[in-house]
Amino acid sequence: MPMDILMGNEAIALGALHAGISAAFAYPGTPSTEIMESLQGFAARGPSAGPERLAAQWCANEKTAYEAALGASFAGRRACVSMKHVGLNVAADPFVNSALLRIKGGLLVVVADDPGMHSSQDEQDSRALAEFARVPCLEPSDQQEAYDMTRAAFDISERYRMPVLLRVTTRLAHGRSAVETAAPPGRNAHSKAEDRWGWTLMPHAARGLWKEVLAKYEALRSESEASAARERGDPLRAVITAGLALEYYRENEAELSGLPAGKPSHLHVDRYPMPYAAIREICATAKRVLIIEEGAPFIERYLRGILPTAIAIEGRESGEIPATGELTPDNVRPALGLGARAGQSAGAFELPRRPPQLCQGCPHLDSYTFLTEALTAYPVHSVNADIGCYTLGALPPLEAIDSVVDMGASIGMARGAAEAGLVPAVAVIGDSTFYHSGITGLVDLAAHGTSATILILDNSTTGMTGAQPTILPSERLSRIALACGVAEEHVVLLSAHKKDHEANVQAMRRELDYQGPSVVISARPCIEAMKKARKA
Amino acid sequence: MKYDIVLCGVGGQGGISVSIVIAQAALAEGLAAKQSEVHGMAQRGGEVLSHLRLSDRPIASPLIPEGTGHLVLAFEPLEALRYLSSLAPGAAVITSSAPFRNIASYPPDEGLLSALLGLPNCRIVDAEAIAREAGNPRAGNIALVGAASRHLPLSESSLVQAIERCFAPKGGAVVEANLKAFVLGRKA
Ligand code: SF4
């Protein structure tokens, strides 16, 4: 069968294609973005109409993407929705509720977690959300498994009539290795889900469906038991690995044979619900059990509970492995009883850090420059910003913003700060983030006539994730503000150029002085997006 | 056999194509390859790091264990010094000589040079000059692959084929320039 070097995200996209998906939806977010980018590549090379068409579309946010995927499943076809871990928070409402539905076409939700927070505001573990919703979760350990499990997920989804979550982490999503692929089966035909009460979550129906979910979840547990891999070793010492952590265990395995007690007994967990019986079995004679898992101490906490146990349970919560950040082949060694290894060093040479920066000539630089100057007239003020390249405005030399929390939070926070008397209050948000989660905040602002200024940095792209097109053209931003009820003279269009600096400062000051909601749109295309467009 | 490479530079320097060229050449020779990188937040201008592992047996960890790496291949001299803890004692550093000064605290040339020369096994390559000579200023990375090629457990012909395959979508002139840069780098 064909073999190629694939990035984890490419392997997932190819697995979904080979599983016969008809529809895919996503919002860009590191480290998940390349899944949709690859799928769009496949879609462009496939038919543009008819039953073999693949719809692969960016959406306004993860919630709308999830709901679109649900609709495709409802129509009987296989569908995939992909996002980063914090995107699942945005999609949590449809995600949690979808567990209750009698899924028709296989539905896969791929979530890429970012332990170590390479490009995220937290390192939450999606296994916890899957369990919370009682959605089965698969956790591949390498790119080949990512491909295989993606394909298998659709079968599981259709067999159990449940959505399936595939959880990957940055190292797997953005790592490359050889992947062997297999021939795809055909596509599902259209066939609408005819059981209304499997898809209408009114209380009387949902009560019955929830019981079904709990029963299905227990049935799925037996699948987890069957796929958990056991290796016999020292009966007194057990190691449990999950997902990618397997690779860090394997890396050190050869040295473990050299320890006095030899290799420990080993259990690898590759899917959830948790395989209770397999875990009990491996721990039956153990005095100590070490859990190596990427992300939160999810399995460890299960085992530990809150009452004392006869077995010493070690992992990220107990401190044997660092509680935060990514696993490495080195930071699991002390817990395995292996010593540290030293490499070379540059001696006394002082190595300065090189933090990420806005690109040379980035339009955000000009926007921050006029905003900061306009604000010098107001010793007390707040600038609540948002998620995007412009988040870098927090770093020197700009140091122009006071907070960054989640997609769209800038507007809600500026509004709350203003209502609490902290004025002038400015929300700084990009066009893509505004479409994602800013519009509802603007509705609140307009509804209450709050004195806050939204500064939309309109670069006509989603810059931080590699310049994906913004969901709607920029011209519509001002019309949205008007439609929400912001007064026409307080919807202000500026151009983010150095030559307009003075005029921009004056315009910004006028809006900061205004007692009411205002929207300032500072527009100039992203340099990277323009480069990308020229290449295409 | 195993051979572990740390590739490092500054965001936007295009280290990914280098990883792909080497990994493809390894695959063609029947070796296993595993590569891991992080492209974080608007990484442009920030530090970028990629681990590339080659072996004739299955590779476990996507990350190179500390103190065991065989080569640091750096697209920028300051970055060449950042990941030394990954290298085995005596293992090689090959770096481009061209500094990318985008931070105020960038060290002065002499300090940087003496730190590099203080390493047990460091080679500094003027990849920019080679790229210019090859006719494409963007071919510096492949010049470094050329410089590294004598260390890599890969044949010259499989590297050449991987370069051809990697750059083919960009047209014949780009392929030619990169092949030339590879040959010049190999001689450097
Ligand atoms: S990618 Fe675009 S928006 Fe982001 S820093 Fe670069 S120019 Fe600015």
Q: Which tokens in the block code for residue B54?
A: 């080659």
Which among A357, A364, A358, A360 is positioned nearest to A459, based on CA atoms?
A364
Q: B81 CB near a chain A CB, below 8 Å?
A: yes
Q: What are the structural domains of chain B? A: 2-187 (3.40.920.10)
Cβ–Cβ contact B78 with A under 8 A: yes
CA B23/CA B30 separation, integer angstroms? 11
State the pLDDT at residue A184.
82
Write out pLDDT tens, residues A345-394. 998 899 999 988 899 899 999 999 999 999 999 999 999 999 999 999 99
Query: Do A221 and A235 reside in the same domain of the chain?
Result: no
> Strands, E, within A350-496: which ranges?
382-385, 403-404, 425-430, 453-458, 461-462, 468-469, 491-495
* Residue where a domain stops, chosen among A201, A225, A249: A225
Q: Whose CA is nearest to atom 2 of ligand 1?
A: A526
Write the CA distances from A140 to A137, A172, A225, integer angstroms. Answer: 10, 8, 16
**Yes or no, beta carbons of B105 and A175 under 8 Å apart:** no
Could you count the other beta carbons within 10 Å of the beta carbon of residue A493? 16
When divided into structural domains, chain A yields a total of 3
Closest to A78 measured CA to CA, from A186, A179, A168? A186
Residue with tokens 């332990």: A115
In this structure, is residue A372 part of a structural domain?
A: yes
Facing A343 at nearest CB: one of B19, B38, B85: B85
Residues of A in contact with B43 (CB under 8 A): 356
Concatenating the DSSP letter of every residue in A155-217 gives: HHHHHHTS-EEEEEEHHHHT-EEEEE------PPPP-----GGGT---HHHHHHHHHHHHHHH
Residue A80: its H or E element: strand A79-84
Q: What is the span of the domain harbouring residue A300?
A: 228-336
* Residue-level pLDDT at A463: 86
* Strands A3-7 vs A176-180: parallel, antiparallel or unpaired: antiparallel
Taking CA–CA distances from B80, the nearest residue in chain A reads: A346
Q: Are residues A221 and A268 in the same domain?
A: no
A155 part of a folded domain: yes
Looking at the structure, tell me whether residues A166 and A258 fall in a common domain.
no
In the listed set A200, A225, A250, which residue is the last one of a domain according to the structure? A225
The runs of H, that is alpha helices, within A60-187 are 62-74, 85-90, 92-98, 126-133, 143-160, 170-173
Q: A259 φ, ψ to 5°?
A: -75, 155
A358 located within any domain: no
B 146-165: CB under 8 A from A? none
How far is B67 from chain A, CA to nearest CA, in Å?
Answer: 4
* Residue A462 CA to its chain's centroid (Å): 15
- Distance of alpha carbon A259 from alpha carbon A252, whole angstroms: 12
- pLDDT (average), residues B17-35: 93
| Closest Cα in chain B to A355 | B46
A342 domain residue, yes or no: no
Contact call for residues A385 and A413 (beta carbons, < 8 A): no
In this structure, the answer to whether residues A467 and A513 fall within a common structural domain is yes
Q: Is the peptide bond before A31 cis (omega within 30 degrees of 0)?
A: yes
Which 87-146 residues of chain B touch chain A by CB within 8 A?
87-89, 91, 102-103, 105-107, 111, 115, 118-120
- Both tokens of residue A6? 């694939």
A393 lines ligand 1 (CB under 6 A): no
Tell me, yes or no, whether A406 and A450 share the same domain. Answer: yes
Q: Which CATH number does the domain housing residue A30 bear?
A: 3.40.50.970
Q: What is the pLDDT of residues A130-163, one digit of tens each?
A: 999 999 999 999 999 999 999 999 999 999 999 9
> If you average pLDDT over every residue of chain B, what do you get?
94
Distance CA A440, CA A348 (A): 53
Q: Determine the Cα–Cα distance for residues A298 and A137; give it in Å rounded to an integer.
A: 13
Dihedrals phi, psi of A471, to nearest 5 degrees:
-60, -35
Which chain B residues contact residue A359 at CB under 8 A? 42, 44-45
Say whether both A369 and A301 belong to one domain. no
A362 within ligand 1 shell (Cβ under 6 A): yes
Q: Is B42 in the pocket of ligand 1 (CB under 6 A)?
A: yes
Please answer yes or no on whether B46 and A251 come within 8 Å at the CB atom.
no
CB-side neighbour CA atoms (13 Å) of A204? 2
Q: Which of B44, B21, B16, B42 is nearest to B156 (CA)?
A: B21
Q: Which of A143, A66, A50, A151 is nearest to A103 (CA)?
A: A66
Note whether B45 contacts A: Cβ–Cβ < 8 A: yes
Residue A410 lies in a domain: yes
Residue that terminates a domain, selected from A225, A241, A273: A225
- Measured in Å, residue A50 CA sits from the centre of ligand 1 at 38
Quick one: A137 and A274 in the same domain?
no
- Considering only CB atoms, B47 lies closest to which of A119, A176, A354, namely A354
DSSP assigned state of A81: E
Cα(A23)–Cα(A41) distance, rounded to whole angstroms?
13
For residues A462 and A466, give the distance between their C-alpha atoms in angstroms, rounded to a whole number.
Answer: 7
A175 and B35 in contact by Cβ < 8 A? yes
- Whether the upstream peptide bond of residue A203 has omega within 30° of 0, thus cis, is no
Residues A202 and A232 both lie in one domain: no
pLDDT (mean) for B23-32: 94
Chain A residue whose CA is closest to B28: A4
Tell whether A428 and A522 lie within a shared domain: yes
Quick check: helix, strand or coil at residue B22? helix
In this structure, is residue A347 part of a structural domain?
no
Q: How far is CA A164 from CA A158, A182, A217, A220, B173, in A?
A: 10, 21, 12, 11, 47
What is the token pair recorded at A36?
Answer: 């949709």
Of all residues in chain B, the one with the smallest CA distance to A342 is: B67
- Residue A357: inside a domain: no
CB atoms within 10 A of CB A141: 24
Q: Is the pTM of this model over 0.80?
A: yes
Contact call for residues A145 and A169 (beta carbons, < 8 A): no
Residues A11 and A107 in one domain: yes
- Residue A413 tokens read as 């926070």
**Same domain, residue pair A398 and A480:** yes
Cα separation, B185 vs B126, in Å, equals 9
Does residue A367's CB lie within 6 angstroms of at least one atom of ligand 1? Answer: no
Considering only CB atoms, which chain B residues are within 8 Å of A247? 60-62
Q: Whose CA is nearest to atom 8 of ligand 1?
A: A362
* C-alpha B137: how far from chain center: 16
Query: Is the pLDDT at B99 greater than 90, yes or no?
Result: yes
Q: Which residues contact A45 (CB under 8 A, 6 or more apart)?
A: none
Quote the Cα angle for A195-A64-A530, to 5°. Answer: 145
The one-letter amino acid at A233 = G
What atom in ligand 1 is closest to the CA of residue A365?
8
Q: CA angle B101-B35-B2, nearest 5°? A: 110
Q: Which of A117, A106, A114 is nearest to A88 (CA)?
A: A114
Between A463 and B91, the more confident residue is B91
Q: Give the mean model confidence (pLDDT) for residues B159-173.
A: 95
Q: Is A501 part of a structural domain of the chain?
A: yes
pLDDT digits (tens, 9 = 90+) for A1-25: 578 899 999 999 999 999 999 999 9
Q: Which residues of chain A have pLDDT under 70?
A: 1
Tokens of B117: 């020369």
Chain A interface includes B174 (CB < 8 A) = no
Q: Are residues A298 and A440 in the same domain?
A: no
pLDDT, residue B39, reads 67
- What CA–CA distance (Å, rounded) separates A273 from A136? 6
Residue in A174, A248, A352 closest to B39 by CB = A174
What is the spatial distance between Cα A269 and Cα A273, in angstroms, rounded to a whole number? Answer: 10
Distances (CA, A) of A402 to A91, A385, A444, B97, B111: 27, 7, 21, 39, 37
Q: Where are the beta strands (DSSP E) in A382-489?
A: 382-385, 403-404, 425-430, 453-458, 461-462, 468-469
